[in-house]
């Protein structure tokens, strides 16, 4: 027998809606009434309800009328399947409107009348509902309650008198961020939201409570009173601070970015939480210390501003020309080395690869990267696949990975899986707080070696627990014994495949935006001390001086490590990166004292277009929406201009092969092909094209004996000492907001905080 229910006198089939076994309808069995009504296009006003948080039901604004019920019902706390069973509900009846009007009158009882100066004005839920359900005159004439503002950090501005106690921020802090900093204390008229004791909200996700707050109680502290919502333009972009490239929404006005917020995931219809770094890092791009014009330095400590690009290119081309002729006269090969970071986009990387294939004296080097001798193409599984594997897994092994700061999205997935129970996390390396319990088995490679040999107490967990997941940080593979470490991991996966049928759940988390894409495109070498000895010039491309490998090379020179080298100085160096004071070029010039050095001003991330392959194997694309300033140009424009000028110079050393070998770059011909892969996943393509163009006889040739490598039993180093001012991006060191966050974090979290 069919059952029916009615919503605002519209008839629906209960059997088809809630008793169907169709997979796409399974969410309706546990969905609250307010969520089910939203899917039908019926919007119920609410304040405390949020799909990503637990149900609290304390604002009472989402009341609906249920037939035969003596009073209105709270729709967020009612199951749609239970209350709609042969029943009728009304969301716009006179009873419901009067109830919402009374609730709103109580919410506005102590609320201040400061909408004209509130940053939330124009996008405030309380303001919108007051327009529909508010009364014209008040019935209470007592003094309004005043609440003292709290200082909960350098990024959240609090005006607690506006708070309506929806507890969204409290639930987010406890359930999502994994901290117990925020809470409600006091009773009745004295109840307040705060930290109880004077302290800040210490979490890398704290900025999300600004978006969650339905009123103006929590707003942005760094950028108050800048604009109204109707004055802003909006565009979609990605987060460049880690390897995931999360989807973001950027608001800008008069060619200046005002704020960055998280974007709703249309596929899963869930909120995409972003870190504080992704939200407030943009002010570092437009720092006053940024260099907007080209600079030239001739064996002096002072850079001279260049008036035009023609002067800059003429100096570079002339230096390359004479350097190449000196190589011919002295029968020496001094290379021009192009050094790029892991955040470079595919378009620029493809152009410099063409440049290196055309001229024999040009070579490419990564500033940092893994030191594996073989091709390295492993990556973290896509978001859907990783979530599916974690849901079916009872064990996760983190190797040299602090997921809370190295991969915020990954840490959120791990915490979500832990809250579902029956899940164990084992870590090797970092003993920091993951926001969920993790059992540490040690801090050096000996622990992994004993685990691989079967001598560890945790071997039983890998065998007995279902579908174990292994996640390795790409920074752990920057060690000198990376090959031996990778051999251990392969031995471990081979042993686990005997106990878990068709098991292949090894993931590598890449911490830079395009590190996966660079490793997939080609096997580029990492810059070393030997390259510095034989080079005649260096060309820095989007690198930053806080990279460990670069800092090591400069310190070795300052310690006179190269005093026996025949190459006493580098002839010239060029820096094409976001120019700031104390940049790569200035540090390098102080150590190596080149004959001349040139600084080329390029565009920031939001001032250029680019395509990237994130750690999940998904193509991400950034779009230019901020116009460039002064002489700055995009990376590919500068490289293209340099390439055209080199072709006009006669006598340069060419390679016999002037075209790109398609097999070397694995099916990529030129950068224009990336325009068609904005939403594609390359996870399966990577596995299938590894030896796609090689015959069976070729495999026999490739099977030569591996060279023996040492395994250092040293401690696995935590590469990210400071989440806010560290990392692979070039902007965080110059962001005032990130510096304040770092200072606040260090004052409470380091070992000697009791001395301050």
> What are the phi and psi torsion angles at 249 (to 5°)?
-125, 125
**Cβ atoms of 435 and 179 closer than 8 Å:** yes
- CATH class, domain 4-107, is alpha beta
Residue 382 confidence (pLDDT): 65
Q: How far is CA 506 from CA 45, 245, 307, 509, in A?
A: 45, 21, 53, 10
Residue 398's nearest CA partner among 483, 469, 330 is: 469
Residue 499's nearest CA partner among 472, 469, 465, 456 is: 465
Has this prediction a pTM greater than 0.75?
Answer: yes
Tokens (6 digits) for 699: 């495999």
Give the residue extent of every domain in the chain: 4-107, 117-123+136-284, 295-374+520-676, 391-518+715-755
Residue 159 confidence (pLDDT): 94
Q: What is the spatial distance between Cα 423 and Cα 396, in angstroms, rounded to a whole number?
A: 8
Residue 679's nearest CA partner among 613, 620, 622 is: 620
Tokens (6 digits) for 457: 């107490």
Q: What is the spatial distance between Cα 640 and Cα 656, in angstroms, rounded to a whole number?
A: 21
DSSP calls for 153-186: -SSEEE-GGG-----HHHHIIIIIS-----EEES
Q: What is the spatial distance between Cα 296 and Cα 599, in angstroms, rounded to a whole number?
A: 6
- CATH class, domain 391-518+715-755, is alpha beta
Common-topology check for domains 295-374+520-676 and 391-518+715-755? no
Q: What is the spatial distance between Cα 96 and Cα 579, in angstroms, rounded to a whole number?
A: 60
Specify the CATH architecture of the domain 117-123+136-284: 2-Layer Sandwich (3.30)
Residue 339: strand, helix, or coil: strand
Q: How far is CA 277 from CA 206, 402, 474, 612, in A?
A: 10, 16, 20, 19
Task: Note the pLDDT tens digit of each residue in 182-233.
Answer: 999 988 888 999 998 888 898 999 999 999 999 999 999 998 988 888 999 9
Q: What is the spatial distance between Cα 703 and Cα 700, in angstroms, rounded to a whole number?
A: 5
Residue 676 confidence (pLDDT): 41
Residue 423 confidence (pLDDT): 93
Q: What is the spatial distance between Cα 602 and Cα 642, in angstroms, rounded to a whole number?
A: 14
Residue 618's nearest CA partner among 660, 681, 575 is: 681
Tokens (6 digits) for 518: 């660079």
> What are the phi and psi torsion angles at 280 (to 5°)?
-125, 15
**Cβ atoms of 71 and 63 closer than 8 Å:** no
Torsion of CA 10, 11, 14, 15, to 10 degrees: -150
Residue 304 confidence (pLDDT): 81
Q: State the CB neighbour count (10 A cutoff) for residue 456.
A: 18
Q: What is the spatial distance between Cα 694 and Cα 102, in angstroms, rounded to a whole number?
A: 75
**Cβ atoms of 542 and 340 closer than 8 Å:** yes
Residue 493 confidence (pLDDT): 86
CA 582 from centroid of its chain's CA atoms:
26
pLDDT along the chain (756 residues), means of 10: 84 84 77 92 93 91 91 91 89 93 90 90 90 82 88 93 94 92 89 90 92 94 89 92 89 92 73 90 84 77 79 85 77 82 88 84 84 63 71 89 89 92 88 86 87 88 89 86 84 86 81 86 83 81 75 72 51 73 63 76 89 88 86 86 75 52 38 39 36 34 53 76 82 89 81 40
Cα angle 72, 53, 511; round to 5:
165
Residue 680 confidence (pLDDT): 38
Would the CA dihedral through 616, 520, 278, 126 be positive or negative?
Answer: negative
Buried b (16+ CB within 10 A) or exposed e, 133-171: beeeeeeeeeeeeebeebbbbbbbbbbebbbbbbbbbbb
Would the CA dihedral through 291, 293, 298, 301 be positive or negative?
Answer: negative
- Topology annotation, domain 295-374+520-676: Rossmann fold (3.40.50)
* Residue bearing tokens 């201009």: 641
**Cβ atoms of 436 and 429 closer than 8 Å:** no
> What does DSSP assign to residue 571?
S
Q: What is the spatial distance between Cα 574 and Cα 599, in angstroms, rounded to a whole number?
A: 6
Q: State the CB neighbour count (10 A cutoff) for residue 3.
A: 16
Tokens (6 digits) for 352: 């410099």
**Cβ atoms of 154 and 737 closer than 8 Å:** yes
**Cβ atoms of 159 and 194 closer than 8 Å:** no
Residues contacting 85, CB < 8 A, separation 6+: 3, 5, 14
Task: Note the pLDDT tens digit of each residue in 493-544.
Answer: 888 888 887 777 788 888 888 888 888 888 888 888 788 777 888 888 888 7
Q: Are strands 395-399 and 424-428 parallel, antiparallel or unpaired?
A: parallel
């Amino acid at each position: 027998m069919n059952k029916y229910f009615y919503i605002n006198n519209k008839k629906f089939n209960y059997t088809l809606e809630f008793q169907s076994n169709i997979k796409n309808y399974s969410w309706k069995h546990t969905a609250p009434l307010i969520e089910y009504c939203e899917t039908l296009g019926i919007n119920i006003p609410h304040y405390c309800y949020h799909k990503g948080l637990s149900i609290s039901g304390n604002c009472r604004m989402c009341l609906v009328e249920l037939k035969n019920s003596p009073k209105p019902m709270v729709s967020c706390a009612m199951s749609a399947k239970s209350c709609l069973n042969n029943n009728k509900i009304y969301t716009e009846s006179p009873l419901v409107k009067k109830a919402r009007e009374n609730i709103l009158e109580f919410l506005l009882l102590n609320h201040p009348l400061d909408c004209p100066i509130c940053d939330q004005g124009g996008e405030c839920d309380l303001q919108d509902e007051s327009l529909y359900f508010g009364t014209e005159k008040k019935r209470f004439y007592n003094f309004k309650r005043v609440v003292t503002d709290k200082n909960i950090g350098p990024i959240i501005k609090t005006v607690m008198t506006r708070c309506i106690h929806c507890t969204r921020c409290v639930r987010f802090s406890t359930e999502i961020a994994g901290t117990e900093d925020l809470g409600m204390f006091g009773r009745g008229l004295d109840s307040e939201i705060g930290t109880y004791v004077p302290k800040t909200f210490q979490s890398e996700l704290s900025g999300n409570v600004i978006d969650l707050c339905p009123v103006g109680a929590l707003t942005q502290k760094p950028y108050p009173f800048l604009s109204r919502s109707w004055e802003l333009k909006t565009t979609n972009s990605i987060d460049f601070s880690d390897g995931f490239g999360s989807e973001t929404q950027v608001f800008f006005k008069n060619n200046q970015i005002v704020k960055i917020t998280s974007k709703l995931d249309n596929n899963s219809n869930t909120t995409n939480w972003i870190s504080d770094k992704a939200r407030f890092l943009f002010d570092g791009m437009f720092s006053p210390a940024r260099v907007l014009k080209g600079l030239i330095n001739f064996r002096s400590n002072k850079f001279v501003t260049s008036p035009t690009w023609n002067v800059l290119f003429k100096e570079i081309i002339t230096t390359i020309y004479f350097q190449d002729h000196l190589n011919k006269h002295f029968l020496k090969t001094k290379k021009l080395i192009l050094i790029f970071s892991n955040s470079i986009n595919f378009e620029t990387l493809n152009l410099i690869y063409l440049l290196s294939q055309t001229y024999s004296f040009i070579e490419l080097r990564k500033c940092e990267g893994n030191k594996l001798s073989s091709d390295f193409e492993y990556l973290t599984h896509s978001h859907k696949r990783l979530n599916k594997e974690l849901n079916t897994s009872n064990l996760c092994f983190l190797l040299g990975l602090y997921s809370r700061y190295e991969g915020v999205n990954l840490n959120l997935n791990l915490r979500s899986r832990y809250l579902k129970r029956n899940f164990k996390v084992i870590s090797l390396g970092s003993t920091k707080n993951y926001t969920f319990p993790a059992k540490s088995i040690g801090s050096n490679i000996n622990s992994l070696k004993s685990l691989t040999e079967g001598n560890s107490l945790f071997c039983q967990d890998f065998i007995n627990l279902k579908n174990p997941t292994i996640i390795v940080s790409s920074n752990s593979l920057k060690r000198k014994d990376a090959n031996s470490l990778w051999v251990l991991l392969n031995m471990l996966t081979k042993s686990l495949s005997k106990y878990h049928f068709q098991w292949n759940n090894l993931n590598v988390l890449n911490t830079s935006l395009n590190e996966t894409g660079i490793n997939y495109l080609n096997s580029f070498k990492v810059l070393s001390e030997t390259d510095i000895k034989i080079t005649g010039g260096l060309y820095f491309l989007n690198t930053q001086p806080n990279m460990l490998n670069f800092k090591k090379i400069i310190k070795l020179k300052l310690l006179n490590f190269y005093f026996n080298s025949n190459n006493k100085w580098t002839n010239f160096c060029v820096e094409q990166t976001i120019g700031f004071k104390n940049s790569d070029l200035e540090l390098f010039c102080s150590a190596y004292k080149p004959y001349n050095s040139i600084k080329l001003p390029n565009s920031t991330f939001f001032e250029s277009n680019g395509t990237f392959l994130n750690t999940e194997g998904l193509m991400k694309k950034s779009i230019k929406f901020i116009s460039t300033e002064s002489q700055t140009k995009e990376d590919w424009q500068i490289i293209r201009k340099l390439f055209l000028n080199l072709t006009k110079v006669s006598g340069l050393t060419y390679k016999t092969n002037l075209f790109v070998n398609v097999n070397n770059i694995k099916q990529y011909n030129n950068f224009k092909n990336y325009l068609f892969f904005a939403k594609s996943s390359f996870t399966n393509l990577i596995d299938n094209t590894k030896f796609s163009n090689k015959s069976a006889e070729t495999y026999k040739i490739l099977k030569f004996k591996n060279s023996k490598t040492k395994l250092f039993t040293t401690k696995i180093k935590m590469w990210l000492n400071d989440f806010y001012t560290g990392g692979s991006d070039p902007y965080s060191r110059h962001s005032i907001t990130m510096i304040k966050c770092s200072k606040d974090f260090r004052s409470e979290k380091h070992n000697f905080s009791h001395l301050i």
